[in-house]
Amino acid sequence: MADFKSSTIYQVYPKSFYDSNGDGIGDIRGIIEKLDYIRSLGVDYIWSTPFFVSPLNDNGYDVEDYRKIHPLFGTMADVEELIAEAGKRGMGLMFDMVFNHTSTHHEWFQKALLGDPEYMDYYIFKDGGADTPPTNWQSKFGGSAWEYVPSLKKWYLHLFDVTQADLNWENPRVREELKDVIRFWKDKGVKGFRFDVVNLISKPEVYEDDTQGDGKRFYSDGPHIHEYLKELVADTGIGDMVTVGEMSATNLENCLRYSNPDEKELSMCFNFHHLKVDYKDGKKWELMKPDYQELKKLFETWQTEMQKQNGWNAVFWCNHDQPRIVSRMGDEEKYWKESAKMLATCVHMLRGTPYIFQGEELGMTNTGYSNISEYRDVESINYYHILLEEGKTQEEALEVLGQRSRDNSRSPMQWDAGTYAGFSESKPWIGIPDNHSYINVTMEEQDPDSILNYYRKLIQLRKQYAVIQEGAIEFLYQEQQEVFGYKRLLGGQELLVVNNLTGQEVVLQTPVDCGGCECLIGNYQKEVSGDWLETLQSYESVVLLKKNLQ
């Protein structure tokens, strides 16, 4: 399998990828049927979000059995075939390990509910009167993070939905159980793992009210986190596999440790700071235009420090929890193609491992749902009600959801312009935007200038040029807010990447000397091999290679 530093990773959300049996829900056989498509992108790994047995209150992030496949998605034989068929095409599967919590339907929690002390110690139960939760911590999906169990006269912690009970990692038996899960999937031939909200697993010794916030400062990157990760990796022998931790509200210092190879923790981390630059006062449910200066600063800091201190970033815009990037930071109408390609260029030429979320490579947009009944996501529905309680009108609340809901990325993959976008033969579990009439695989396959073919080219360039994989990074145009520019340097080669983040033409404060340059890729079909590059068109991206520098 390819080294993670030269790889590109494709994320599949099975429920919305491809429905092979016409029940309106994507499934494992659907992924198998589309493996040639995924392969055609040139990616090395496929990360699939969970398809294990689950009540699906959080679409599978509420796991009831880590070793069994939910019948809606298929069978163990299907999963084995998926792993084998991907392998034949030179791609490795990465599975999603949700180890911060289990579903309350998990047999461990069911035993705990019956008062079995052994299993109660698998979770975080605290005493407290029926009216007063142990702390004021808030669930990330809204409301208290504690739920009272009258029969036990105790509260249990759930940082997410009430049906997602947090595991007690201080209990060594819990850690052993989870290591066994890793071994199980490793033996099946899985080539890597994504660890869900893994920096939340180590809780503080003392549970106290957070007078400054919702509690996250007590348990994010908690006291034993590095120890637990080292132990998990060492005892399961996954140190050579590709591993990525999803890090909630983390910081640079910790991510440097998580991803530094000497620490033997993870290959890389997802952090989300760059995806909060449009949160007003840091609040997801309050709208604001993106602060591009802040965005640039965050990329610069994280990239530069990771390089200095031998860490490694996952680089990405999209996943199943984020709105679509072209709607968020580009212009999904007038400059749909240009801005989608520009945003892709911004991250694909960075130092790190790029991730592509299904449909991103087509320039898929936010869904544009106009009624609350169209939403499926537990977080979105909870927050809709919270927003109404806070005094917003229905229209205002829907406007916020329209921009922030996780369902924006969970609508079905748009395969063609036909009914249900070629995703299924029956009505899908969640609605499809009308724009599948022109944003779809079939049409973009035929258009050499499509967003799809642009992504293919970006992926291929990373394979082809060591400077994209390993080159040192230096940032340019720090003072010019509209321009995101950087250089990558390796052994006499210099790669120059300039992106116009706006819909207006910009004059570069420092023109680029293109003498002796080769243009590797750009989203406007024009020759940039002249002498100087002085202006950039709306959302223009240019990537230039200079060779044989002295």
What does 23 interact with, of ligand GLC, Ca ion, none (CB < 5 to 8 A by kind)?
Answer: Ca ion
Q: Which is nearer to ligand GLC, 104 or 303 (CB)?
A: 104
Residue whose CB is less far from ligand GLC, 155 or 160:
160
Q: Is the dihedral of CA 395, 401, 403, 408 positive or negative?
A: negative
**Counting contacts by CB under 6 A, is residue 61 touching ligand GLC?**
yes
CB neighbour list of residue 393: distance below 8 Å, 6 or more residues apart: none
Residues 227-246 within binding reach of ligand GLC (CB under 6 A): 246
Task: Find the DSSP H helices in 336-481.
Answer: 336-348, 378-389, 394-404, 441-446, 451-464, 466-470
Closest CB 452 distance from ligand GLC, rounded Å? 25
The CB density around residue 381, as the number of other CB atoms within 10 Å, is 18
Q: How far is the CB of 48 from Ca ion (least distance, A)?
A: 15
**CB 145 to ligand GLC: min, Å:** 13
Interaction partner, residue 369 (Ca ion, ligand GLC, none; CB < 5-8 Å by kind): none
User: Which lies closer to Ca ion via its Cβ, residue 19 or residue 58?
Assistant: 19
Q: Which is nearer to ligand GLC, 375 or 484 (CB)?
A: 375
Among 18, 45, 122, 160, binds ligand GLC (CB under 6 A): 160
Based on CB atoms, which residue is closest to ligand GLC, 50 or 485? 50
Of the two residues 19 and 78, which places its CB atom closer to Ca ion in the complex? 19
Is 196 catalytic? The answer is yes
Chain residues 485-524 in contact with ligand GLC, contact rule CB under 6 A:
none
Q: Which of 19, 44, 147, 196 binds ligand GLC (CB under 6 A)?
A: 196
Report the C-alpha gap between 147 and 154 in whole angstroms: 8
Judge whether 482 counts as a catalytic residue: no
DSSP lists the bridge partners of residue 279 as: 287
Q: Report how many residues bind ligand GLC under the rule CB under 6 A.
A: 9
Q: Determine which one of 19, 27, 62, 246 is catalytic.
A: 246
Contacts with Ca ion, residue ranges (CB under 5 A): 19, 21, 23, 25, 27
- Closest Cα to residue 550, out of 518, 510, 516, 521? 516
By a kind-dependent CB cut-off of 5 to 8 A, residue 18 interacts, out of Ca ion, ligand GLC, none, with: none
Rounded to whole angstroms, the Cα distance separating 267 from 255 reads: 10
Tokens 């010794």 locate to 205
Residue from 19, 27, 62, 196 carrying the catalytic annotation: 196
x-or-dash string of contact with ligand GLC, 308-347, rule CB under 6 A: ------------xx--------------------------
58 binding ligand GLC? (CB under 6 A): yes
CB 494 within 8 A of CB 512: no
The smaller minimum CB distance to Ca ion, of residues 27 and 321, is found at: 27
CB of 375 to ligand GLC, least distance (A): 15
Q: Which residues, in sequence order, are bridge partners of residue 496?
A: 487, 544
CB 41 within 8 Å of CB 459:
yes
Alpha carbons 100 and 117: distance in angstroms, whole number: 20
| Cross-strand pairs, 495 | 488, 545
Q: Hey, is 437 helix, strand or coil?
A: helix
Out of ligand GLC, Ca ion, none, what residue 98 binds, judged by CB under 5 to 8 A for its kind, is ligand GLC
146 with 154: CB under 8 angstroms? no
Does residue 475 come out as left (phi exceeding 0), alpha (psi in the -120 to 50 range) or beta?
Answer: beta
For residue 11, the cross-strand partners are 47, 357
Provide the pairing of β-strand 268-270 with 242-246. Answer: parallel
**Considering beta carbons, is residue 196 or 331 the nearer one to ligand GLC?**
196
**DSSP character for 1?**
-
Pairing relation of β-strands 472-476 and 483-490?
Answer: antiparallel
In this chain, which of 91, 197, 275, 468 binds ligand GLC, going by CB under 6 A?
Answer: 197
- What is the smallest separation between the CB atom of 43 and ligand GLC, expressed in angstroms? 20
455 binds ligand GLC (CB under 6 A): no
Q: How far is the CB of 267 from ligand GLC (least distance, A)?
A: 18
Residue nearest to Ca ion (CB): 27
| Residue 44 touches which member of ligand GLC, Ca ion, none, C-beta under 5-8 Å by kind | none
State the Cα–Cα distance between residues 299 and 283, nearest whole angstrom. Answer: 20
Task: Name the minimum Å distance from CB 63 to ligand GLC.
Answer: 9
Q: Give the residue at shortest CB distance from ligand GLC.
A: 61
Closest separation in Å from C-beta 140 to ligand GLC = 7
Among Ca ion, ligand GLC, none, residue 444 binds (CB under 5-8 Å by kind): none
Q: Which of 56, 98, 364, 468 binds ligand GLC (CB under 6 A)?
A: 98
Residue of 324, 354, 409, 287 lying closest to 16 (CA atoms) = 409
- Nearer to ligand GLC by Cβ, of 303 and 322: the residue is 322
Question: 363 to 422, contacts with ligand GLC by CB under 6 A?
Answer: none
Q: What is the Cα gyration radius of the chain?
A: 23
Binding-site partner at residue 58 among Ca ion, ligand GLC, none, CB < 5 to 8 Å by type: ligand GLC
User: Which residue shows structure tokens 């939910």?
Assistant: 70
- Show the 3-state SS of 158-225: CCCCCCEEEECCCCHHHHHHHHHHHHHHHHCCCCEEEECCHHHCCCCCCCCCCCCCCCHHHHCCCCCH
Residues that are catalytic: 196, 246
Binding site for ligand GLC (CB under 6 A): 58, 61, 98, 160, 196-197, 246, 320-321
